[in-house]
Chain A
Amino acid sequence: MTVGMRVGLVCPYAWDVPGGVQQHVGDLADALTGMGHEVSVLAPVGSADTDLPDHVVPAGRPVPVPYNGSVARVSFGPRTAARVRRWIDEGSFDVLHVHEPSAPSVSLLSCWAADGPMVATFHTSNPRSRAMAAGSGALRSAMEKINARVAVSEAARRTLVEHLGGDAVLIPNGVAVRRFARADPLPGWPGDGGSLAFLGRLDEPRKGLATLLAAFALLAPERPGLRVLVAGPGDPGPALEEVPADLRDRVVLLGRLDDADKARAYHSADVFCAPNLGGESFGIVLTEAMSAGAAIVASDIPAFAAVLNGGAAGELFRTGDPVHLAEQAGALLDDPVRRAELGAAARRAVRAYDWETVAAEIVRVYETVLMRGGTPATGVRLDTGPRATALLRRGVG
């Protein structure tokens, strides 16, 4: 494996404002650094007294502009462009990795300013704004320089293929294990009487809330203190009918949670349930619960069985069978030692889906871009602009 690459990451949105792209770039930078690569991140930074990690280089003050249907905080203009050029010139990077390259910010400026091995990751799947933007020659001239395009989702890939043509490889976001690893339980949880938890859309039958509530109805009469924490958007009505009226006050509906409370929710119950009936390709909720070290009972759909190492990292029950779920969950509620074992096993198993694994795939992209059939790659340089000799390079006429 190539070790010790110098990677320049470009983030178009203000570093001190939370957002998906910023999060992605930060997680990737940490993972790459952990693998022994040298990383520098260029990003707009709002206030001067923001506590920045050492590897983040401020590119200028961001201004709010409407972009992609919301307000993005980006940097643009001659002063920012000068900083971008200096960063590229002094960075002597082996590869430049630009995020959201068509965003009118340091990303686009970097594409214009640099020449050499370039990778770009496309995050959004908003068909309209890119359609307008992709038309101009100036934007196309930036996009044309990119050697390797990566999309974080099938929707993002489709958007970029439709509007820019060409193709991209799909590399999904990693699970930020450390973000869920530690958190305080929500106030009042898990409580003394035992508790179960569920996260996900309440009114989507495939998420299996009805199965869990039917199992709860079986367990609750013998366990007077048992409660269920139910978090997620949607109407719980149909699923709640599984629970007799006198037990319903022990079903605690929290609605949609923000990220911080979501992390806390995974730490708030004795047993975490993933009762999905199918259709989950991966189970992001499951991997987040595993990151938190929760004791898990999950349905035995193939995706979950694979993620849970066939039951070693969490108990599996027969999909859609509330009796079996009640049995498994009941046994776990009575056995704190087994719960601790399962939680530790889950933490170990989720590492396969961690950012490190995803970053290894990104490194493979870098290596492919740098693999030039023997001739050594030259690294990233400043673009010297139009060359008159280019007209003659391939022999006119």
Chain B
Amino acid sequence: MVAAAVLALVLFAFYLSWRATRLDRLHHRVETARAALDAALLRRGSAVLDLVAADGLPPEHARALADAATAARRAPEAERELAESALSRALRAAVDPLDAPRELHDHLAEVVSEARRVHLARTFHNDAVADTRRARRSRLVRALRLAGTAPLPDFFEIDDEPPAAPPPPAGSDTL
């Protein structure tokens, strides 16, 4: 009788440890995804500023892009989503209708590539947040406080639609 109770207790402890390990891993996944997202946003900002500095965009677009990129970089946490969305929109407005001069091709390709990376990183981040938030809704997790003091992660909601890819450099004259 006692042995059975002890066994049940050991099994339950093992189960709790498994649940806690999963939860720990989820929080870790959110943290690395967030770090990747921050890095991707920074790289996009730098690529945009490089494009502006390369000189060749219409001046009104260049100014709008530089302003949006700077604002996104300096935005306080609470306003980052709006500022990054504004940068996405400014980027599409500047790049999509652009008949790019040849010397801008590399910079443009770089910006489009970094914008795609932002989309990937944001999707993976929000995916991780969704998994973690669902796991933390479980009754067992809440009752036994398996998540400890880790804060509930938040989604990062922005407009991250990248601009259209520039045409491939070779043979693009025929388009």
Q: Which residue numbers of A lie inside 8 Å of B, CB to CB?
A: 115, 141, 143-145, 147-149, 165-169, 309-312, 348, 352, 361, 364-365, 367-369, 371-375, 385-388, 390-391, 393-397
A371 touches B36 (CB 8 A): yes
Bound form: Cα–Cα A372–B38 in Å: 9
Bound form: Cα–Cα A321–B21 in Å: 65
- CB-CB under 8 A from A169, the residues of chain B are 119-120, 123-124
**B175 in contact (CB, < 8 A):** yes
B21 touches A387 (CB 8 A): yes
Q: Which chain B residue has the least Cβ–Cβ distance from A119?
A: B124
Bitwise, B112-142 to A at CB < 8 A (1) or not (0) is 0100110111011011101100110000000
Bound form: Cα–Cα A165–B127 in Å: 8
Bound form: Cα–Cα A397–B121 in Å: 32
Bound form: Cα–Cα A166–B20 in Å: 21
Q: How many A-B residue pairs have CB under 8 A?
A: 117
- Size class of B's contact patch? 35 or more
What's the nearest-Cβ distance from chain A to residue B155, in Å? Answer: 10
Bound form: Cα–Cα A115–B21 in Å: 12
B124 touches A368 (CB 8 A): yes
- CB-CB under 8 A from A387, the residues of chain B are 17, 21, 24
B148 touches A396 (CB 8 A): yes
25 sample A-B contacts, Cβ–Cβ < 8 Å, listed by A number: A147-B32, A148-B120, A165-B131, A165-B134, A166-B127, A166-B128, A167-B127, A368-B36, A368-B117, A368-B124, A369-B36, A373-B35, A373-B36, A373-B38, A375-B35, A388-B17, A390-B23, A390-B24, A391-B17, A391-B146, A393-B24, A394-B147, A394-B149, A397-B145, A397-B148
- CB-CB under 8 A from A395, the residues of chain B are 148-149
B174 touches A386 (CB 8 A): no
B124 touches A148 (CB 8 A): yes
Bound form: Cα–Cα A373–B39 in Å: 6
B14 touches A386 (CB 8 A): yes
A309 touches B148 (CB 8 A): no
Bound form: Cα–Cα A391–B175 in Å: 61
Bitwise, B48-85 to A at CB < 8 A (1) or not (0) is 00000000000000000000000000000000000000
A144-B131, A368-B36, A387-B17 known; A166 and B24 CB under 8 Å? no
- CB-CB under 8 A from B36, the residues of chain A are 368-369, 371-373
**Cβ-defined partner of A167 (8 Å) among B116, B130, B146:** B130
- Candidate in A168, A374, A386 with the most chain B CB atoms within 10 angstroms: A386
**B101 in contact (CB, < 8 A):** no
A167 touches B168 (CB 8 A): no
Majority secondary structure, B binding face: helix
What's the nearest-Cβ distance from chain B to residue A360, in Å? Answer: 10
**Cβ-defined partner of B40 (8 Å) among A141, A143, A371, A385:** A371
**B150 in contact (CB, < 8 A):** yes
A312 touches B17 (CB 8 A): no
Given contacts A167-B126, A385-B21, 8 further A-B contacts (CB under 8 A): A147-B128, A166-B128, A368-B121, A372-B32, A374-B35, A386-B20, A394-B150, A395-B149
What's the nearest-Cβ distance from chain A to residue B169, in Å? Answer: 12
A391 touches B134 (CB 8 A): no
Q: Which chain B residue has the least Cβ–Cβ distance from A170?
A: B123
- Candidate in B40, B124, B130, B146 with the most chain A CB atoms within 10 angstroms: B124
Bound form: Cα–Cα A394–B25 in Å: 11
Bound form: Cα–Cα A388–B38 in Å: 32
A309-B175, A368-B121, A395-B149 known; A166 and B27 CB under 8 Å? no
**Cβ-defined partner of A364 (8 Å) among B113, B126, B146:** B113
Bound form: Cα–Cα A168–B120 in Å: 9
B145 touches A364 (CB 8 A): no
- CB-CB under 8 A from B18, the residues of chain A are 141, 385-386
What's the nearest-Cβ distance from chain B to residue A344, in Å? Answer: 13
What's the nearest-Cβ distance from chain B to residue A85, in Å? Answer: 18
A169-B123, A352-B168, A365-B120 known; A390 and B20 CB under 8 Å? yes
A148-B124, A364-B116 known; A372 and B35 CB under 8 Å? yes
Q: Which chain B residue has the least Cβ–Cβ distance from A149?
A: B127
- CB-CB under 8 A from A145, the residues of chain B are 25, 29
What's the nearest-Cβ distance from chain A to residue B27, in Å? Answer: 7
Q: Which chain A residue has the least Cβ–Cβ distance from B36?
A: A371
Q: Which chain A residue has the least Cβ–Cβ distance from B38?
A: A373
B29 touches A147 (CB 8 A): yes
What's the nearest-Cβ distance from chain A to residue B124, in Å? Answer: 5
- CB-CB under 8 A from A388, the residues of chain B are 17
Bound form: Cα–Cα A178–B36 in Å: 36
Which residues in window 1-35 of B have CB below 8 A to A? 14, 16-18, 20-27, 29, 32-33, 35
- CB-CB under 8 A from A371, the residues of chain B are 35-36, 39-40, 121
Bound form: Cα–Cα A115–B121 in Å: 20
- CB-CB under 8 A from B135, the residues of chain A are 144
Q: Which chain A residue has the least Cβ–Cβ distance from B33?
A: A147
- CB-CB under 8 A from A168, the residues of chain B are 123, 127
**B171 in contact (CB, < 8 A):** yes
